[in-house]
Amino acid sequence: MLNIAVKAARRAGSVIQRASLNLDTIRVEKKKHNDFVTDVDRAAEQAIVDMILEAYPKHAILAEESGAKGVGSSEYEWIIDPIDGTTNFLHGHQQYAISIALAHKGQVQQAVVYDPSRNDLFTASRGVGAFLNDRRIRVSKRFMMNECVIATGFPVTDQSYIDQYLGMLKDVLGKTAGVRREGAASLDLCNVACGRVDGFWELNLKPWDIAAGSLIVQEAGGIVTDLTGEQEWMESGDIVAANPKVLAQLLATIAPHLNK
C-alpha cells in the first residue's frame, strides 16, 4: 500500500512539475477567500485516485478537490491533498507538496508527502519509522525554547481566528529563536519530523492537510496533539507537533490564548 502511494505521488508530481514550467497558462478558480484551486490540482488528484482505485477498487477516498467517495463502505480510506500549498505553486514559490495518507478503521497507517520541486520523498508506516528519501529521520533534540525554531501557518481563509492567532504568535516569537511560515502544512510537519524545525502549530486545517504529515512526525519520535494537548486534532483541525521536550512548552505558550 505504501508503494502504491509513492507511485501515485510521483505520478502527480510529474503532472505538477510539467505545469510549473508554464504557470501563466494555468486556469485558477477561487473557492473562497485566499483558497484557490487550479486545473493542475484536479489533474494531479485524478492521477492519484486512478492509481489507487486501480490497485484497491473497494477502498474509500477523501480528496480535497473531488470530496468523499465510498466513505463508510470500506475499512480503508485514502486521504489526499494533490497540491498542499497551491498559492505557493501559483507564484512559483517552491514550497508545496503532494500528501497521501491511508487510514484503516480511522487510524492512519501509511503516509507519503512528496515535494516534487526538491524531489524529497517523506514516508512513514505505523510502527516502522519515518524516512526521507529512504533514510531514517528523527525529530530534533533541542529542549530550550529560546533555541528553537517553530513553524506555523496563518489563518488566511477564516479571518475570525486572526486575533487569537496573533496573540499566540506574539508569545511564541518572544520565547523562541524564530518562527517560520512557509505555507504548506504537510511540509511543515515533515520539517518537524526531520529536525529542520523544532515544532509546529496551526489552526483550522483539513484532514488532507495533516493526515500524512502527522504520522511522519509520530514515527520520527515526535508528538502530535490539538491545542489543548488532546488527540482531537483530526476533528478540530487545530494541531501542535513537536519533539517531546518542546511540546509541553509550546502548548503552555499557546494556552493563555485559547477561547479568546
84 is in an annotated binding site: yes
238 is in an annotated binding site: no
What does the alpha-carbon distance between residue 121 and residue 128 come to, in Å, rounded to a whole number?
A: 16
C-alpha cell at 134: 529512504
Whether 213 contacts 113, CB under 8 Å? yes
What does the alpha-carbon distance between residue 155 and residue 97 come to, in Å, rounded to a whole number?
A: 19
Secondary structure (3-state) at 50 = helix
209 is in an annotated binding site: yes
Whether 181 contacts 152, CB under 8 Å? yes
Show contacts of 126-130: CB within 8 Å, 24+ apart.
Answer: 126/215, 126/219, 127/219, 128/219, 129/219, 129/220, 130/193, 130/215, 130/216, 130/217, 130/218, 130/219, 130/220
DSSP β-ladder status, 129-132 and 178-181: unpaired
List the binding residues for Mg(2+): 64, 81, 83-84, 209
- Binding positions: 64, 81, 83-84, 209
